[in-house]
Amino acid sequence: MNNLGEVNGDVDVHLGDMVVAPNVFFITKDRLNIIDIIGELYIQGAPDLVVEILSPSTAVHDKKKKSRIYFKHGVKEYWLVDPDLQLVEVLSLPR
């Protein structure tokens, strides 16, 4: 953890009745209470930033379905990293 919050990855994130496992996510320090440990680490609520590393088999799902899920549940910013194109697409909720 640093002064801004916590970065983690490949941990289950519970968003309502959905469970996802982003490649990387960030939670600001004032929201660290959504981190829970009952047997194993998981997140109960939306991280502030989610990063997904695209692969050919998951790209369409990550771009369309996951972005809707994340924004519906309050993720503020969603980064899609395409290593093949060496591109980062940044999506965010309107402020």
* Full pLDDT tens readout for the chain, 95 residues: 458 999 998 899 999 999 999 999 999 999 999 988 766 788 999 999 999 999 988 888 888 899 999 999 999 999 999 999 999 999 998 77
- Quote the CA–CA distance of 80 and 57 in Å, as a whole number: 14
pLDDT of residue 1: 46
Nearest to 79 by CA among 87, 8, 38: 87
Pairing relation of β-strands 35-38 and 24-28? unpaired
Q: Does the global pTM surpass 0.85?
A: yes
CATH topology of domain 5-92: tt1808, chain A (3.90.1570)
Nearest to 4 by CA among 31, 23, 22: 31
